[in-house]
Structure 1
Amino acid sequence: MDLKYHQFISFFEAEQAEQLCQIAITENFPNQKILFEEGEKPDFLYLILVGKVVFKKHIAHNQYQTLAQALPNAYFGELGILDGQPRSAQAIVCEGSTLAKLERQSLMEILLNAKGSTVLKVFGYTTQRLRDSTDQYVKQLIYKEKMVLVGEMLNTVIHDFKSPLSGINLSSSMVKELHPDLETVEWCELIQAQAQRMSAMAEELLEFSRGNTVLRKKPVNLAKVLERFEKLNHIYLQEAQVELVIKAVDVVVNADENKLLRVVQNLVSNAVEAFNHPGGRVEITVGANGRWGRIKITDNGPGIPEEIQEQFFEPFVTHGKRGGTGLGTAIAKSIIDAHGGDISFESSCQKGTVFCIILPLVSS
């Protein structure tokens, strides 16, 4: 955006606004550039023209808590400018950004000569931003407490699962040995695969609660992954009366196959549970574009409600699902992010939902 249209500049009378534009230093900053550290002496007020800046508080050795973020037309650093006290948080560029910097001494001289209405506007904006930061921080604390409870519960569940899952595996192995015909062997292998999935799902949820996604990456053919997915979910989809269509070519990505299956499982299960009419259909296609492999999951369901679309990948966001935890899509995003990929969607009540997942191809 043009500096002269920035909201901070608009707070001032025309003459002072012109002065601010003249003293402003406009710079481009790369992604992950640290603008200032917590405890540093304040020297500039920053106006965001393009990009995003995130603010983090140091909580332990090499550990930071995200407090808030600022987007274009916002400004930050005014508290240090006004009271001269050290910076209260770290500011780091989250995207390639263009910022305008206003030097403290020059800015204070202009503020001292500003009208009372201008000062009130600056004060009002600062107060609202402090409120927003406080709300976000409280939400993060609540989220952490929830995840601690989830982790404690899962530790118990995983421990209790071990005995019955071992019994299921042992029993299916014995049945397979006693009845080595092809059909029985196939059913026993399906039982064992589903038992292993139950254990893996619990472990993945535990990893998520700890904020630690462990990947065992190797070259994976996406067509083979979907073939395995179809085999594991054939009965589930048949009972739900949902048609599954897979259109896949051989695309090889560097990925953790089991966790990739978990992502597809979560998204397809959400679609199946959302169908409120006969004729449910899910189509999964695989392709490649440049350095990326692509998975598209399309359904003809009722779409994702507009009120949760912006927060759809956040933990504990759910809508209309009995017993839903709101963690499935958050786990899916964390897995794709850990792979260095991206997940996005488009959704409407008229057309259903399309998820698009991209993952880096195996380097040739």
Structure 2
Amino acid sequence: MDLASHRFMSYFEPEQAAHLCQIAILESFVEETLVFEEGQEVDFLYLVLEGEVELSKRIDSNKYQTVAVAKPDDFIGELGVLDGEPRSARAVAGGGSTLAKIGREALIETLQFAKGSAVLQMFSFITKNLRDTTDQYVNQFVHKQKMVLLGEMVSTIIHDFKSPFTGIKLSSEMLKEMHPDQESQEWCELIQLQVQRMLGMAEEVLEFSRGNSVLNKKPVHLIQTLQQFLKLNRVYFDAAKVDLVIRVTEVIVEADENKILRVLQNLVGNAVEAFGGRGGRVEIAAWESEEWAEISIYDNGPGIPQSIKEKLFEPFVTYGKRTGTGLGTAIAKSIVDAHQGEITYESQDQQGTTFYIRLPKITS
């Protein structure tokens, strides 16, 4: 945007705004760049013209917590300019950003001769920023506490469930020895797979609550992974009256197969729940593009409600599900991110939803 049309300039008389535009220094950033550091002496006010600037607070020696993101038509660093105190946060400009900076002394001098309305408008903006930043900080604090409680709860579940799961597994092994017929063998193997799967799911939730995803990568043939997914969920799909269609070419990825199964389970499971017992259709396709292994998951359900679309991949976001925890899509995204992949979606009311997953493929 043009500097003269920035909201900050509208606070002043035309002559004052023109003077500020004249003394402002424009800076463009090709890549992510530190603008100022927390605790640094204040020298400039910054107006954001293009791109974004992330403001963060130091939480330990090497970690920062984002508290706000300034976008075009915002300005940053105003508190230090007004009170002369060191910077209260760190500012990092994203690649492609353009900022205009105005020296503190020149700005203070201009403010001394500005109308009261100019000062009032600026303080209104500052007050709104403080309120928004406080709200964001509180939300982040509440989220952190939820994740701590989630981790403690899942740790207890894993500890308490290991003994009965071990009993189920041993019982299925005994049944397998007692009944050598093929059908019994298959059912016993399925029981053992499901027990291992439940423990794995709990471990993945624990990893998610701790903010890390441990991967056991190896070459994975997606056609075999999808066949395994169908085998594990055949009874579930039949009971829910879901028609599952799989279309896949020979695609190999370097991935943690159990975690890819978890992504499929979460996304398809959400679709099945959205059908509400009425049945429906789910189509999973996998193919290769030039750089990626591509996976799409389509369902002909009611679509994702508009009210949660923007926050769909955030933890604890759910809608209209009696048993939903709001973790399914968040965990799916964390797993895809850990694989250096991408996940997006399209959804229309009463016309279904399609998730698109991209994973780095193995090139020959």
Using the size of structure 1 for normalisation, the TM-score is 0.94
Preserved CA contact (<8 Å) 1:53 1:94 = yes
| Pair 287,100 (structure 1): closer, same or farther in 2 beyond 3 Å | farther
Counterpart mapping for 1:194-343 below 5 A: 194-276=194-276, 278-343=278-343
Deviates more, 1:302-311 or 1:56-65: 56-65
| Pair 142,21 (structure 1): closer, same or farther in 2 beyond 3 Å | same
Counterpart mapping for 1:101-250 below 5 A: 101-250=101-250
| CA displacement at 1:201 relative to structure 2 | 0.7
The one-letter code sitting in structure 1 at the alignment partner of 2:86 is P
1:4-52 CA distances to partner (integer Å, 9 max, x unpaired)?
A: 3222223233222223333333333245422222111122222222322
3-state DSSP of counterpart to 1:171: helix
1:238-261 CA distances to partner (integer Å, 9 max, x unpaired)?
A: 110011111111222222211111
Deviates more, 1:75-84 or 1:275-284: 275-284
Deviates more, 1:162-171 or 1:284-293: 284-293
Count of residue pairs brought into register by the alignment: 364
Distance 1:21 1:225 in 2: 60
Task: Name stretches of at least 5 consecutive residues in structure 2 with no aligned partner.
Answer: none
| CA displacement at 1:218 relative to structure 2 | 2.5
- Identify the residue that residue 9 of structure 1 maps to in structure 2: 9
| Pair 344,160 (structure 1): closer, same or farther in 2 beyond 3 Å | same
| Pair 114,361 (structure 1): closer, same or farther in 2 beyond 3 Å | farther
Deviates more, 1:322-331 or 1:288-297: 288-297
Preserved CA contact (<8 Å) 1:281 1:300 = yes
Task: Name stretches of at least 5 consecutive residues in structure 1 with no aligned partner.
Answer: none
The one-letter code sitting in structure 1 at the alignment partner of 2:339 is H
- Identify the residue that residue 68 of structure 1 maps to in structure 2: 68
| Pair 17,350 (structure 1): closer, same or farther in 2 beyond 3 Å | farther
The one-letter code sitting in structure 2 at the alignment partner of 1:185 is Q
| CA displacement at 1:171 relative to structure 2 | 1.6
- Identify the residue that residue 86 of structure 2 maps to in structure 1: 86
1:142-182 CA distances to partner (integer Å, 9 max, x unpaired)?
A: 11111111111111100011111111221222222232332
Preserved CA contact (<8 Å) 1:283 1:299 = yes
Preserved CA contact (<8 Å) 2:29 2:94 = no
Distance 1:104 1:19 in 2: 14
Preserved CA contact (<8 Å) 1:283 1:297 = yes
Distance 1:176 1:169 in 2: 11
Indicate the RMSD between aligned Cα atoms, in angstroms: 1.9
The one-letter code sitting in structure 1 at the alignment partner of 2:47 is L
3-state DSSP of counterpart to 1:60: coil
Distance 1:3 1:238 in 2: 62
| Pair 228,5 (structure 1): closer, same or farther in 2 beyond 3 Å | farther
Distance 2:113 2:199 in 1: 67
| CA displacement at 1:202 relative to structure 2 | 0.5
| CA displacement at 1:95 relative to structure 2 | 5.1
Preserved CA contact (<8 Å) 1:276 1:302 = no
| Pair 168,30 (structure 1): closer, same or farther in 2 beyond 3 Å | farther
Deviates more, 1:129-138 or 1:334-343: 334-343
The one-letter code sitting in structure 2 at the alignment partner of 1:181 is D
Distance 2:77 2:30 in 1: 19
Deviates more, 1:342-351 or 1:198-207: 342-351
- Identify the residue that residue 39 of structure 1 maps to in structure 2: 39
Deviates more, 1:262-271 or 1:46-55: 46-55
Distance 1:360 1:49 in 2: 35
The runs of 4+ residues in structure 1 deviating greater than 3 Å are 93-96, 276-279
3-state DSSP of counterpart to 1:343: strand
Distance 2:219 2:95 in 1: 30
Distance 1:277 1:200 in 2: 27
Distance 1:250 1:28 in 2: 46
Distance 1:132 1:248 in 2: 47
| Pair 7,190 (structure 1): closer, same or farther in 2 beyond 3 Å | same
Preserved CA contact (<8 Å) 2:241 2:277 = no
The one-letter code sitting in structure 2 at the alignment partner of 1:109 is E
Using the size of structure 2 for normalisation, the TM-score is 0.94
Preserved CA contact (<8 Å) 1:43 1:81 = yes
Preserved CA contact (<8 Å) 1:276 1:301 = no
Preserved CA contact (<8 Å) 1:53 1:95 = no
